[in-house]
């Protein structure tokens, strides 16, 4: 775009000089001088405005989503150069079906990075990109090269991704256990950490249409989280909540999953803790495996991301960015939230306060026969 402004400026200069020479300082030349100054001023103001506010900024779109969610199909709708890890895998190995070695993955991503960072215009970086740490590294590299960075979260229910994956041509089908693992550990975006802004792309909804924030919270307080989920979560996502009322099957939580969430809600005494309590362990139903719940906090945080993207009439004092991060980080407080976590995720003091405040609620909202200081929080 900048070459258009520079060309316009050049043409104005040339036009002005030609008229002055040929009119010999006549009134016509004087008029041209006035017009030139006006147009010159307008063009330069526009040029400066666009430079300051990003009109000339190259854009990097980082796609995030599990295999089968529709990232590549979505990328075709965008008018940018498309760089894809799957394309490189097919180019090198001819298939996505088998899980390649770490060395193979390094080869793929080294080649992907070489191609991406040797390109000097707006582009799409298409990979699963589920890790915030990985996205943070990409973000810093793109910013150093003058890009504005958007994350486009391509989010679908797990069963939808599975169905879409199975419809692919034979060599593009990804083993389901890989998709399921990625689904557990896909972290939400955080502006200023891994992107400048983000958007959610989906063919499905997380909530039933026109779900009101206060209706959801009041239902959770009155009727419990299990009935609230059945009432407000869309049919597309309901299979992921089938085990929400099952027992934890661990000595550290003798109560059912939904009972623990209800206990947290009842032990909360302000609106922020109410919604954190309601959302923090929703991912346990999907993450549950032999009494272990690894990844439940990341699934819960993605549910929180979708919740706030769709819910109606959220109170002004409820800040989605803060709630989503508190849900994501709530496990880190069990042994004391570290300075490393705070710095890497740029957690503001009030967010750290929320995480610590919720940890106190979480600790007292369970039934256990284990001593308080004997816990396996990583598998909570």
Sign of CA dihedral 311, 133, 236, 276: negative
b/e per residue 263-291 (b: at least 16 CB within 10 A): bbbeebeeebbbbbbbbbbbbbbbbbeee
Q: What's the average model confidence in pLDDT over 153-164?
A: 96
CA distance 158 to 43: 51
Pull the structure tokens for residue 204: 């499905």
Note the pLDDT of residue 4: 39
Domain definitions of the chain by residue range: 2-53, 58-201, 213-379
Pick the CATH number of 58-201 from 3.40.640.10, 3.40.50.300, 3.20.10.10, 3.40.47.10: 3.40.50.300
CA distance 237 to 19: 70
For the chain, give the longest Cα–Cα distance.
Answer: 100
- Closest C-alpha among 363, 378, 365, 333 to residue 351: 333
Note the pLDDT of residue 56: 62
CA distance 301 to 323: 9
pLDDT digits (tens, 9 = 90+) for 204-219: 999 999 999 999 999 9
Q: What's the average model confidence in pLDDT over 267-281?
A: 98
* pTM for this model (two decimals): 0.83
Please report which confidence band the pLDDT of residue 372 belongs to, taking 50, 70 and 90 as the band edges: low
CA distance 51 to 72: 31
Strand 123-126 and strand 81-84: the pairing is parallel
Note the pLDDT of residue 100: 66
Conformational region of residue 122, where left means phi above 0, alpha means psi within -120 to 50, and beta covers everything else: beta
Instruction: For residue 325, give the DSSP letter.
Output: H
Backbone angles phi, psi at 283, to 5 degrees: -70, -10
The gap between the terminal CA atoms of the chain, to the nearest Å, is 53
Please report which confidence band the pLDDT of residue 9 belongs to, taking 50, 70 and 90 as the band edges: very low
Strand 147-154 and strand 81-84: the pairing is unpaired
Note the pLDDT of residue 291: 78
pLDDT of 173 above 90: no
CA distance 59 to 81: 11
pLDDT of 252 above 60: yes
pLDDT digits (tens, 9 = 90+) for 73-88: 999 999 899 999 989 9
Pull the structure tokens for residue 277: 């309590």
Give start and end residues of each alpha helix (H) in 94-185. 102-117, 132-144, 158-166, 176-184
Please report which confidence band the pLDDT of residue 97 belongs to, taking 50, 70 and 90 as the band edges: low
pLDDT of 8 above 70: no
Total residues found in the chain within this entry = 380
């Amino acid at each position: 775009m900048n070459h258009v402004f520079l060309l316009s400026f050049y043409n104005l200069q040339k036009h002005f000089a030609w008229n002055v020479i040929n009119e010999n300082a006549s009134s016509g030349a004087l008029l041209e001088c006035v017009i030139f100054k006006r147009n010159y001023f307008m063009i330069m103001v526009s040029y400066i405005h666009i430079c300051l506010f990003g009109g000339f900024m190259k854009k990097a779109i980082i796609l995030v989503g599990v295999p089968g969610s529709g990232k590549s199909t979505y990328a075709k709708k965008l008018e940018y150069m498309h760089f894809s890890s799957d394309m490189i895998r097919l180019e090198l190995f001819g298939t996505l079906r088998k899980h390649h070695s770490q060395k193979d993955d390094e080869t793929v991503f080294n080649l992907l990075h070489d191609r991406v960072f040797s390109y000097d215009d707006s582009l799409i970086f298409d990979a699963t990109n589920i890790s915030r740490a990985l996205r943070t590294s990409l973000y810093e590299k793109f910013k150093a090269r003058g890009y504005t960075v958007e994350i486009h979260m391509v989010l679908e229910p797990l069963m939808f991704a599975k169905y879409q994956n199975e419809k692919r041509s034979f060599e593009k089908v990804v083993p389901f256990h890989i998709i399921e693992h990625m689904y557990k550990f896909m972290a939400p975006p955080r502006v200023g950490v891994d992107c400048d802004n983000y958007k959610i792309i989906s063919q499905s909804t997380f909530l039933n249409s026109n779900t009101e924030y206060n209706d959801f919270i009041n239902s959770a307080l009155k009727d419990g989280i299990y009935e609230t989920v059945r009432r407000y979560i869309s049919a597309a996502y309901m299979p992921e909540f089938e085990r929400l009322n099952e027992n934890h099957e661990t000595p550290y939580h003798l109560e059912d999953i939904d009972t623990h969430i209800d206990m947290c809600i009842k032990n909360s005494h302000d609106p922020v803790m109410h919604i954190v309590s309601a959302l923090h362990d929703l991912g346990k139903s999907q993450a549950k495996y032999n009494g272990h719940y690894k990844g439940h906090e990341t699934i819960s945080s993605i549910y929180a991301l979708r919740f706030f993207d769709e819910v109606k009439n959220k109170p002004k004092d409820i800040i989605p960015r803060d709630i989503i991060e508190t849900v994501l980080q709530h496990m880190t407080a069990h042994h004391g939230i570290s300075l490393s976590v705070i710095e890497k995720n740029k957690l503001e003091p009030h967010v750290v306060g929320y995480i610590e405040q919720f940890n106190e609620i979480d600790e007292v909202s369970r039934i256990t026969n284990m001593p308080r200081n004997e816990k396996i929080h990583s598998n909570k």
